[in-house]
Amino acid sequence: MKPRRRTTDEIIAATSRPVPAVPDQGDLVDHWRSVGLLDDAEADALGAEAAPE
- What is the C-alpha to C-alpha distance for residues 20 and 8, in angstroms, rounded to an integer? 24
pLDDT exceeds 80 at position 12: yes
> What type of residue sits at position 22?
V
Whether 30 is in a domain gets the answer yes
Which residue range(s) make up the domain with 51? 26-53
φ and ψ of 35, to 5 deg: -95, 0
φ and ψ of 24, to 5 deg: 65, 20
Threshold 0.75, pTM exceeds: no
pLDDT of 48: 65
Whether 34 is in a domain gets the answer yes
Q: What DSSP string runs through the chain? A: -PPPPPPHHHHHHHHTS--PPPTTPPPHHHHHHHTTSS-HHHHHHTTPPPPP-
pLDDT of 46: 81
Whether 6 is in a domain gets the answer no
Whether 45 is in a domain gets the answer yes
**Mean pLDDT of the chain, nearest integer:** 83
- The pLDDT of 44-52, averaged and rounded, is 69
Whether 10 is in a domain gets the answer no
Whether 40 is in a domain gets the answer yes
Whether 42 is in a domain gets the answer yes
- The pLDDT of 3-29, averaged and rounded, is 86
Query: How many domains is the chain partitioned into structurally?
Result: 1
